[in-house]
Amino acid sequence: MKKILILLFSSILAIPFYQSIHASVADSSSYGFTIKQEYTIKDPADSVFKNLVYNIGKWWDSEHTYSHDARNLTIQPFAGGCFCERLKDSGSVRHMTVINIVPGKTLRMEGGLGPLQSMAVNAILTFSISQSCNNAELEVTYTVGGYAPGGLQKMAPIVDRVLGQQMKRMIEYDEK
C-alpha cells in the first residue's frame, strides 16, 4: 500500500511538471505548430502593451538577437511597421512585420523568429491583452506553417520555451 501511495503521489507531481513544459504547444505536425501561452500580469493592460511594444529593448534577452544587444531592437507601432534590429556597419535584421495593432489590446506580427527566419515558413505572432480587475490578461499565440527538412514539429517545444522565456522577462520588467 505504501508503494502504491508513493507511486501515485510521484505521478501526480510529475503531471504539472510535464504540462508546464508542453502545455503551451497547442498543436504540432511536420508542417507546422501553434504555441498558446496565457499570463496574468499585475499591471494595467495599457502599461503591458506599452512595455511590449515600446520597451522591447529593455526586456528582450540579448542572447536571442543577432547583435547580442537587445537595445538594438525596435517595433514600429503601425501596420507595415518593422520589428527590426540594428547591426554594426549599418546592417539590420527584420524579424517580423506588424500586420495589426490596436493600442492597449492587440499586436499581431508576421515572420519567423530565430532559426525559423531561414526556413520556408509563414508565421503569425499575436499578443492579445485584456483588463481583468487590477490585472492584465495576456494571451500569446504563435502559429507557424510551412516546410522544414525533418518537419516543424521538432521546433515547437524549442520555440515554446524561448518565447516563454521572453514573456517571463517582459512580465518581470513590467511588474517592477
User: Could you report the per-residue pLDDT of 101-140, keeping only the tens digit for each?
Assistant: 999 999 999 999 999 999 999 999 999 999 999 899 999 9
Tell me, yes or no, whether 4 lies in a domain: no
- Structural domain count of the chain: 1
Tell me, yes or no, whether 45 lies in a domain: yes
Tell me, yes or no, whether 95 lies in a domain: yes
**What CATH number does residue 143 fall under?**
3.30.530.20
Tell me, yes or no, whether 159 lies in a domain: yes
Encode pLDDT of 10-54 as tens digits.
Answer: 333 333 332 223 348 999 999 999 999 999 999 999 999 999 999
Encode pLDDT of 155-169 as tens digits.
Answer: 999 999 999 999 999
What is the 3-class SS of the chain, one letter each residue? CHHHHHHHHHHHHHHHHHHHHHCCEEEEECCEEEEEEEEEECCCHHHHHHHHHHCHHHHCCHHHCCCCCHHHEEECCCCCCEEEEECHHHCEEEEEEEEEEECCCEEEEECCCHHHHHCEEEEEEEEEEEEECCEEEEEEEEEEEEECCCCCCCCHHHHHHHHHHHHHHHHHHHCC
Tell me, yes or no, whether 86 lies in a domain: yes
Tell me the residue range of the domain where 84 lies.
Answer: 24-174
Tell me, yes or no, whether 80 lies in a domain: yes
Task: Provide the pLDDT confidence category of residue 5 given band limits of 50, 70 and 90.
Answer: very low
